[in-house]
Structure 1
């Protein structure tokens, strides 16, 4: 039997040249700031720290504006990934920002509901003559007393000087029966008032949102069909009467956040029969009648828009030039009417003072016939 030789494992040979290989190193930020392009020659073994990519606010806003134009389904498919791309924004925050962007877009579209008239290029030196023209247009189309035509004329001018008024009386166009011209008068007044917005029916929510958003002169027809059974609408109309208490508060949004809505503004309503006493108390009644068999009245559709547009333009210029004068006017009101009626008529008397003595007399007579 042969003997086996004991085999000794070979010794591990260490390659000394491996020590010459540089290990990667990471420099502190302070040292990195000292490195210049002159220091860069051969490929470096220094590993620079990664910088976080930040989305600019302009790019983020552009993305949000684009999302606001998408359909509900399209937005739902994109919202999660897009939120991540916007610096890991929360989806809830993105939803809120997109909703806000959509609201702005809708507001711009809705602005076409009301129109701002360019003021006349020349000063209106004879406002009484312009008031006479408005009065004559009403007389040509409506069967009513002189007192009603006077009050309606002054109320139309009122819509152009709202900043000068502390109280805005509701123009309540009423009649005991059908076919007395209620809608006709409402239409005529809307064609000569500032930022007119007309409707035949409206919900409580649409009412206060429209007033807050558009600051219109609101014309509501056929209020007798819904006003008496709607506490919410009555509350909004009541609140919009005085600058002292012009706000209503409603909870809005997913978080039910309380939001104030300013509902102070000029409003005209029309309908058959009575309205709630709280509204009557805040109104100037414009009561109409049917025309007599021998009376002839013109149709509104035959009144050229150029005529009413010119009246609006001149009223816009006159109000710009005379707002302070209207605000500072200090009329003497009839002492025989109650305090609320005096509040309602005060702005009309302020306007009448600037129209001159003849119109001031007409205003006094109208006030006594309607509210005395």
Structure 2
């Protein structure tokens, strides 16, 4: 019923977007003829109508070229390995030099991996970049089976094996946990494709440290409550009909509620930027929300197992986590260097939660460990924006290079 009710709202929003486009197109000739001032309010209203609702289609990465050295180099997307639940996507560059291979692990938390577009673009000039391009669970047929916590770890191991020996891994937010587990799995099995380094950025390794509102919510209810109230069944109109999922629209609604006033103000600002012909300012807000409102569903198994394992029982933080029924000891990681990055103002993953990985990985020599606390940034500022590009990224790049 939950998903069916949302579908009704989604259909109404789709019609609203259509009307908005019709009005915007009807006004275009008049604006071109110079009648801008009296029509700007109508144009702004039409543009806001065009933004109604959420989308479930993955946006384009839109990275066509990057500057390497002193020249522009074309970038093409290459699917290296495809499973029902995700694609190992490579951003291939036509260059002769060999660069460190890096797997960027995107969070599976209601948004597409394109949310890390800026992260990838920053890293591309210096690295051969791959990304975990997760698929929308509502589009995955039931015949593909379920996708749980261990399946996520399996994907990271398979992707690293496909990339070959000597790769590096950079995990953003939630998958810091699965990345640590994958490194332990590969260490304990003596897998030759184990990563040379792993960089964990703003990830919930130990949520007992300075709990945020997100952490407190996870412990305020029993797991059965999450399953009863937040899990829905994909309607028959989609390829994944019958699959139990945590809907992306639920996650986005939760994120919006955390900073509701800010998001409302942003849309008010957008209206006036359009009405006042402030194109650059309007485009900046639209670009952000185009990505923010593109959502994907998570398989229910993965969502519920993550809530239980990471946010309620803290099995990784206690070094008691199991994989496929076997205990995983983070102390077994001895050949994969560790860097952690946190944001001073992060209200989703608090300071100290990611750094806790160092206390778990006691098998690493001191010279194989590094930590950086980025001043003045919140959660998204850890991996996007100017401070990421100018202050955090150079440290990450040097860390990868020093262990390449």
TM class, shorter-length: under 0.3
User: Could you say which structure has the larger radius of gyration?
Assistant: 1
Q: TM-score when scaled to structure 1?
A: 0.26
Give the number of the structure whose residues are more often strand, by fraction: 2
Q: TM-score when scaled to structure 2?
A: 0.24
